[in-house]
Structure 1
Amino acid sequence: MAGIYIHIPFCIQKCGYCDFYSIIRLTDKSDFVACLCKEIIDRKDTLNGEAVKTIYFGGGTPSLLSKQDLTKIVDVLFAHYDLSKLEEFTIEVNPDDINMSYLTDLRELGINRLSMGIQSFNNKILTFMNRRHNAAEALQAVELSKRSGFDNVSIDLIYGIPNMSLQEWESSIDTALGMGVQHISAYHLTFEPGTVFYKNLKKNILKEVDDSVSVEQHALLIHKLKEKGFIDYEISNFCQPGFESKHNSSYWNGSNYLGFGPSAHSYSAPSRRWNISDLKEYMKKVQEEECYFEFEILSEKDKYNEAIMLGLRTNKGVELNVINQMKDEFILFFNEIMKKNIKLKTTFEQDGYLKVCFDQKILTDQIITDFFIA
């Protein structure tokens, strides 16, 4: 079954670390919703009748859309796609956008999962990252979500932040665990080109944390979450049993998915496409029925590298049988690198899968790169 991702490109302010496409302007919301609905309708035959299992509203800040905006989009989805087997319907929300009335509206639309961008429960750190909520608002948002009937709530946290102490990181983890959420996505801060943080890094205003600090913070995260029964099912994602993100898992297991809105990606083996990252151009081209996306057919090398990247990030690992059906040169290369990494104790083989060793998970990106074919 397939997934649907919808990108909402609006923000009130831009976080210092964020490189996802968004604009600090809300005046185009109505026109955007109309164009988005047109794209959804225009592509209604893309899945060839395949049922949709998950829907995910991301951004940007989807919680800036009103109930009326969301209803228009949801109605179009139900009218043109097979949602009879829909299991998970997620929307990303900012803590200071939601209240009991809005949460009730979301539930009435069939949304059954919230992904809340909290990042930290420390006001100093929230200010540093240019988040527009404070710790008290984050706590209240989670409590309101539970009271409104949401029993599948995910929160985002960030570690590896300059000048954040281990004690401050531990406090955020403890606060998150004390709220009874079902899912936690924890990401190491990265300095992405084009972001404020990246520019400040190049100006020596900011400095990346030492590797030893990252390792210590990651180890603390793993220890505390495992202690509370969380499963580390993907390098940055942890959940209580049965609460894996079904939508994100579809990316990692190679399922088909459609992406609507500016910058949204779609995948249908062996092809991938992505919409232009420019709201004005996106709306103009959708309205005038001009091409608003780029497209590629995955090469055999692309398929190999993607299998490595997606597999090693998960606790399931890379299926050896998948690799063994590829070109001989890829199989030989993979086996050589696998033997080396097993000897280094960075990976291990189990039940037909190659996995990253537990104590090496913070180095997953480096390990993946080692397996890549340039």
Structure 2
Amino acid sequence: MAISYRSGVSRKTNDSVRLIVTTIMGMVFGYFIGVSFPSVYLTRFHKTSMDDHHNVERSFPENLGSGNIPLTPKVYVPTNPRGAESLPPGIVVSESDLYLRRLWGEPREDLKIKPKYLVTFTVGLNQKQNIDAAVKKFSQDFQILLFHYDGRITEWDQFEWSKHAVHISVRKQTKWWYAKRFLHPDIVAAYEYIFIWDEDLGVEHFNGDRYIKLVKKHGLEISQPGLEPNEGLTWQMTKRRGDKEVHKETEEKPGWCKDPRLPPCAAFVEIMAPVFSRKAWRCVWHMIQNDLVHGWGLDFALRRCVEPAHEKIGVVDSQWIVHQVIPSLGSQGEAENGKAPWENVRERCRYEWGLFQDRLAKADKQYFTQLGRN
């Protein structure tokens, strides 16, 4: 027993030594393989993943460092958009659009038609029939975007066109609030013209394609359809003229126009149904104040975004609309201080008008004072 026991210990000792030596050699061999592996030239490999059934080929990184960590080249391109200076220019996509994309297939096959123009309405469900009539005045070249101030979206599915429209819903907000947040120039850069319209417009005598032709023909960067005069307050400049395609100037009441080339006698459209070229909108968007949501006063300042304004701002008479003056959004306000919701809304509109004019005057003064110092 003793001899057998000692003999067993000896065999175990030899086996242990061989195991240790083999393990050490394996570790050394594995280390050299690991170190030398990145230098092996590999062209391509098939990644085992969900992509296999598409037979997608992936290029293996050729600039691996130790530990197989890719070595990212240092990039700094000051001409890139702000925040993207560390990216190679070829990968930077600084603009977007509102085109709808599929969840399957190849991206290049997503769009059969690319709309050239963007039409936005700020809507409540009570005006759905009016909006339905308006949308039908625009061809497939126009992308429809609805801003819903009452939070009700699914009810619009009864209209076939609604299934292809873009819907954005935030309760009790105005179209200029939406425009500032969702119509950044880089987001709508794909569209030649942007319509920012109210929901209570009668469009029986309007056609979108004909309107665009006239805007291009007369070189209008900022425009609106002519308004059929009614009992509501309408500026002389925006009233429809029956003997013209387009007009760019008018005569107002005595004392209103100190210069015939300035608003409201020229270079002027109202904020209910404006249409902007891509270039003009890039300027106008920056002028919209983030906290002023009704847009009052903006119409008198639009001329700052085109030059010469009295030639590039105008009213399209032969494609005209009716302002129905239905205060749907105004009814979304709150009754306070013994006043009805629409009265409180109108009060804020007037306040914003004065505040915007004050800010613009102050900005002018600061700029020209600084210019004088330089």
Per the normalisation by structure 2, the TM-score is 0.26
Per the normalisation by structure 1, the TM-score is 0.26
Between Structure 1 and Structure 2, which shows a larger proportion of strand residues?
1
- Computing the radius of gyration from Cα coordinates, the structure with the larger value is 2
